[in-house]
Structure 1
């Protein structure tokens, strides 16, 4: 049986039953449990199901699928911000750059969150003041009014002093071929250095930024580990990003 045929059987069974187990599929697919595990890992990474201990759940039953929870949030940036919370762990050092989605992520943190935030986004200052256990490091440089960030050679030099566990990368445009591109040259330069100095890169993009392109290169698509959008992770608009070894949330 071809791998693609196994994928189709797994997804159809999920639609019917809502959950599957590794053991339950070994006989149905006539393959080893390790093969079923790899198939489910692949489908999870491409946003088509939710992997759990011992098997998988239908993605729509995932409590992090906030598109179905209109009572919680109706705005794209808030959906992205809520999805992002699962990646934030106490003790982390996190790069955050500019944009309102970044502010929404911080606004949705638990009050006892204990992390270090390194940012060129001054708009985070009045938000993080209310979080007693967040250490905030503001990167210097020239302030650019339109993107509302600090940038320039000095900012990039400061970024090089750190290694971040995680980088929430705000995007102007995200394309499966060109990667992340930016409207402003200086903004792209800072993003590029933050990518270089991060262990994990999570790109944030609402549906209007997908498959678009701006002038200045921030990073190639292979430098992105995870993409968070406001769309359901099995939405066809995300098909271009599947099979690229990128987690889709």
Structure 2
């Protein structure tokens, strides 16, 4: 199914910058309260709902809201698919709307993670370490969260620092001594194809390769894996 996007162009009743800014701000707020996100400008804006296609009632409500506004001289609202956005401006507006949605959802995930963190005792958040059979990868398991974190050098050579970490329960402080920016890593989602573990995320930093995934046999998806990782960070 093609992803739906509403394309909106607005012309305020006057051309003052203040009127335009106020109208845009109120449009953004109206959309946010209805779990919709907007990017672009008054001349061309993309409106999306990341969870489900925008419904007919939502479309009617948006039209009604715009028609009742005294500061709107004219507007055009059309339904499109992402593949129909050809210009750089249109694509940029869509990307901005998606970014707004990602920030909003990340905030919600962090709140959920904090709730999970406060509901458990500190002792449940220590990783159990082991070295891989070849001695090149530190394999960490967080049983309660069904998470596994594998750390190795990018060149996959043996590393004494990993063996030292494997000598006892691993906490955030120990991992940060190895990777100082651990909580700020940029994770890349890996699709579950072939031998790729369920819900796997990959990251690299300072010559290290990290794989975050659900433990073998778990049914956790990517969202749940990342949510539980964030909960561990918060709890630590």
- TM-score class normalised by the smaller sequence: under 0.3
Higher Cα radius of gyration: 2
TM-score between the two structures when normalised by the length of structure 1? 0.27
TM-score where L is the length of structure 2? 0.28
Question: Going by fraction, where is strand more abundant, 1 or 2?
Answer: 2
